[in-house]
Amino acid sequence: MISWGIFFLIAGLSLLLTRVIRHYAVTRNLVDIPNKRSSHQVPTPRGGGLAIVAPFFVGLLCLWLIGSLPTRIFLALSGAGGLVAWVGFMDDRSHVAPHWRLGAHFLGAAWGLFWLGELPPLSLFGHLLYLSWPGYLLAALYLVWLLNLYNFMDGIDGIAGIEAITVCLGGGLAYALSAPAGQDWLVPVLLLFAVAGFLYWNFPQAKIFMGDVGSGFLGLILGLLSIRAGQVEPELFWCWGILLGVFVVDATTTLLRRIMRGEAFHEAHRSHAYQYASRRFAAHRQVSIAVGLINLLWLLPMALLVARGSLPGMAGLLITYTPLVWCAFVYKAGAKEQQEI
């Protein structure tokens, strides 16, 4: 009961803080001005992700103080997330050079991995693969990629918030099936409530954007939570991979196709599948809601089959990703931007 009280307190704090940050952003002219690379049409304040970060940290502290969160998990999430959020906020306010941002991303990933401790083995069709020290390099690359792809996918109203909420819901339910006696479900649910307060202001038509402070933070925290899930039960890592499928497939397909054409993949563009879809339907709402429905009606059931032991994790991921890859190509993920649907 104490935990649920904390959750609702955090949601309310996020809701109120978003309004405060929106006022601050307007008065300080921290506003995204539409350009040819934008998916929005009107100037909109940015940096609202701070209203996710701060309440989440407050919630983590509360869970730690009541003994529901191990110290190492508290330090991993707060330290890594705090660094990435701070750099993201600085970038939202002005501009941080790409090499400094990337360095901070790897430093945050390293901090999180250090405090999480030993990496979980990968469960591959009933066999456990122990990665030893090279696994930490792969884990760091995984975290930095997830951090950045979340930033890439935060391009239309509501989509990043809906993704975080549905992924955290699935992660919490997976714990309930696979490790019902533990308390690891508390952190995903805490993040869900922190994002929910912000989403009220970001749902189409958005009154404020998340900005790098929020998108990078969410990508890193979700990645760390997926690794933590693997520590609890190796198959649970695949559950989180399944739940993140829409963002992973769209961003990865887009990146690979742009690299294969020799394009500067780090430059801003509007060639993700969700961006083509938003232009096709001339609206953000339908696309963001569709992502949420895919997560709830396709990815969540498959993730829960893995969590309950009815389906091997790798097999579940391959099955769920196959139609997502097909959808990515149908909606021109990574196609040249003049090749509209």
Mean pLDDT of all residues in 303-329: 96
What is the average pLDDT score of the chain? 93
Of 316, 292, 313, the C-alpha closest to 168 is 292
Mean pLDDT of all residues in 145-164: 96
Mean pLDDT of all residues in 59-63: 96
What pLDDT score does 124 carry?
Answer: 86
CA distance 324 to 338: 23
pLDDT at residue 340 greater than cutoff 60: no
pLDDT interval class at 37 (50, 70, 90): low
pLDDT per position as a tens digit, 225-237: 999 999 999 999 9
Q: Which two tokens stand for residue 48?
A: 């609202």
Contacts of 252 (CB under 8 A, 6+ apart): 149
Q: What is the DSSP-derived secondary structure letter of residue 129?
A: E
Mean pLDDT of all residues in 291-313: 97
What pLDDT score does 264 carry?
Answer: 76
Higher-pLDDT residue of 270, 250: 250
Of 84, 300, 79, the C-alpha closest to 176 is 300
pLDDT at residue 35 greater than cutoff 80: no
